[in-house]
Amino acid sequence: MGMNSATTLGRSGTHDWIIQRVSAVILGIYFIGLMGWFVCTPVLDHAAWAALNACTAMRIVNTLVVLSLVAHAWVGVWSILTDYVTPARMRNVGLGDYATGLRFLLEVVVFLWLFGSLAWGAVIIWAGA
């Protein structure tokens, strides 16, 4: 009966669910930590910001955060696309027959966008390391 999909990130519904929850916790902790840094840093300038992000530990953390953001976004956007870009929904706007192709196209666009963001993020994070 299991209705698995070829375009999910995880191996199963449970796997996707864990990925989305864990990535949300990582993002939450990161942004709370970042807020704390903004509040506690006496002189907030580019030098302080650059120094924070230049240390290897922060580069690793930033990589993890971008990875979490991309994974979280993929699970969420995939879920939205499979809710709304379906033959039944798209019939209302006369695109019922094209819904599956359109969804696949949108999934490819979102994948390329997220993969691009991940690669670009990695280049920025690890620049000058």
Partner 1 sequence: MADVRTFEIYRYDPDKDAAPYMQTYTLELDGSERMLLDALIKLKKQDETLSFRRSCREGICGSDGMNINGKNGLACLASLDELPKKIVVRPLPGLPVIRDLVVDMTMFYRQYEKVKPFLINNTPPPPTERRQSPEDREKIDGLYECILCACCSTSCPSFWWNPDKFLGPAASIQAYRFLVDSRDEATAERLANLDDPFSVFRCHGIMNCVNVCPKGLNPTRAIGHIRNMLLSKGV
Structure tokens given for 11: 């191996």
Size of the site for partner 1 (CB under 8 A): 20
Cα 20 to Cα 10: distance, rounded to the nearest angstrom: 10
Per-residue mark of binding to partner 1, 67-106 (x: CB under 8 A): ------------x--xxx-x-xx-----------------
For partner 1, which is the closer residue by CB, 7 or 63? 7
- What is the residue type of 85? V
In whole angstroms, how close is the CB of 98 to partner 1 at the nearest point? Answer: 18
Residues 6 or more apart whose Cβ sits within 8 Å of residue 14 = none
Under rule CB under 8 A, residue 6 binds partner 1: no
